[in-house]
Amino acid sequence: MLINEDLSRRALVNADRVEWVPSPIKGVDRRMLFRIGGEKARATSIVRYAAGSRFSHHQHPGGEEFLVLDGVFQDESGDFPAGTYVRNPPGTGHAPGSDAGCVILVKLWQFKVGDRERIVRRPGEGRSIAARAGASSSRLLFEATDERVVIEDWRSGADIEVENRMGLELLVLAGEILESGEVHGRWSWLRLPAGEALKVRAGSAGARVWMKTGTLLHDDVCQFEDTGIAKEKQQ
């Protein structure tokens, strides 16, 4: 399966307008944003857990990065309420689920080979950094030589411009943004290739966004095998 697999092109999914697709686990549904592969895939998705749903224990040989959007996500290591950001490095595993139900943004098989640090940022954690023009706050969740992840609050009607030298990915967490003449609301996902600056205007109620800047697919991303197409597309 290929969804928005061409990283050299702008990609947009207004996820609140997309149907949920059932996963192999009862009660767990997905809205697929980016995908190369079948059930084992290099993927970015919004995943919804119904109350009481749970995966059996499994490994993440290519790593897993997620942000809890709603509810409380759970595994053996604890409870993760909305606003929690987690990086589970390659080789880790867990049995995820949710007693009361939750929604998460999750990225799979997109870690660098040497990225072995587990990161957990609870709501409100992370380092406060200087806010860009038009933003009221910016919180740093993760930073490496070629990757930076932040949550920012943008003021009502603010014009926001973000330089984009290596690649950019954004998810609207609250409010709206106006981009390329379109209004994108909650859980809208935008990916821009390197060199294409982000130019948006925050909606009348402002906007909160999760944003990652950096290489869209690292040169030394963890090895992934699913189909011949998957292998070819990751080159």
Q: What is the pLDDT of residue 220?
A: 87
Chain-centroid distance of CA 222 in Å reads: 18
Nearest-Å Rg of the Cα atoms of the chain is 17
What digits encode the pLDDT tens for the residues 159-171? 999 999 999 999 9
Mean of per-residue pLDDT scores for the chain: 93
Q: What is the pLDDT of residue 15?
A: 94
Which of 194, 145, 210 lies closest to 9, judged by CA? 194
Are the CB atoms for 23 and 46 separated by under 8 Å?
Answer: no
Q: Is the pLDDT of residue 215 over 90?
A: yes
Between these two residues, 73 and 58, which has the higher pLDDT value?
Answer: 73
**pTM for the predicted model, two decimal places:** 0.94
Per-residue pLDDT, averaged over 42-54, amounts to 97
Per-residue pLDDT, averaged over 91-104, amounts to 96
Q: What is the pLDDT of residue 149?
A: 98
Q: What is the pLDDT of residue 225?
A: 67
3-state secondary structure the chain: CEECCCCCCCEEEEHHHCCCEECCCCCEEEEEEEEEECCCEEEEEEEEECCCEECCCEEECCCEEEEEEEEEEEECCEEEECCCEEEECCCEEECCEECCCEEEEEEECCCECCCCCCEEECCCCCEECCCCCCEEEEEEEEEECCEEEEEEEECCCCEEEECCCCCEEEEEEEEEEEECCEEECCCEEEEECCCCCEEEEEEEEEEEEEEEEECCCCCCECCCCCCHHHHHHCC
Q: How far is CA 177 from CA 127, 183, 194, 205, 220, in A?
A: 24, 6, 21, 10, 33
Q: Tell me the pLDDT band of 39, cut-offs 50, 70 and 90.
A: confident
Q: What is the pLDDT of residue 211?
A: 98
Q: What is the pLDDT of residue 227?
A: 44
User: In this structure, what are the phi and psi dihedrals at residue 16, rounded to the nearest 5 degrees?
Assistant: -65, -15
- What percent of the chain clears pLDDT 90, i.e. is strictly above it? 86
Q: Tell me the pLDDT band of 218, cut-offs 50, 70 and 90.
A: confident
Q: What is the pLDDT of residue 234?
A: 32
Q: Could you give the CA distance from residue 222 to residue 232 in angstroms, rounded to a whole number?
A: 14
Q: What is the pLDDT of residue 228?
A: 39
Q: Tell me the pLDDT band of 1, cut-offs 50, 70 and 90.
A: very high
Per-residue pLDDT, averaged over 44-50, amounts to 98
Between these two residues, 84 and 226, which has the higher pLDDT value?
Answer: 84
Between these two residues, 225 and 231, which has the higher pLDDT value?
Answer: 225
Q: Is the pLDDT of residue 147 over 80?
A: yes
Q: Name the least confident of 22-26, 123-127, 222-226.
A: 222-226
Please give the domain boundaries of the chain with CATH numbers for all domains: 17-115+222-233 (2.60.120.10), 127-214 (2.60.120.10)
What digits encode the pLDDT tens for the residues 164-199? 999 999 999 999 999 999 999 999 999 999 999 999
Q: Is the pLDDT of residue 14 over 70?
A: yes
